[in-house]
């Protein structure tokens, strides 16, 4: 998440520079913005995959807790 935020801030700063830049520098700034957008997409993809893994671990832990419950009443309460 921090990496995404950092890249997003960089893109915003570059867009501000682009508005005030002379024509000679605009192409270079646009290229930097494009590469930053690619980096943002990559960072977002990584965050989503990590989140997916964390969620899967949480679900597995809950399922294990339900499976290990000895008393039927507790098992029912955990499932609810």
Domain locations in the chain as residue ranges: 2-79
Q: Is the entire prediction scored with pTM above 0.75?
A: no
Residue 32: C-alpha distances to residues 63, 72, 80 (Å): 47, 61, 51
| Collapsed DSSP state (helix, strand, coil) of residue 28 | helix
1-24, pLDDT tens digit by residue? Answer: 789 999 999 999 999 999 999 999
33-66 pLDDT, tens digit per residue, is 999 999 999 999 999 999 999 999 999 998 888 8
């Amino acid at each position: 998440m921090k990496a995404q935020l950092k890249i997003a801030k960089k893109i915003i700063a570059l867009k501000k520079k682009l508005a005030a830049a002379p024509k000679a520098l605009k192409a270079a700034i646009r290229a930097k913005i494009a590469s930053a957008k690619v980096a943002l997409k990559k960072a977002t993809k990584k965050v989503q995959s990590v989140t997916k893994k964390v969620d899967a671990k949480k679900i597995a832990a809950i399922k294990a807790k339900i499976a290990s419950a000895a008393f039927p009443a507790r098992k029912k309460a955990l499932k609810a």
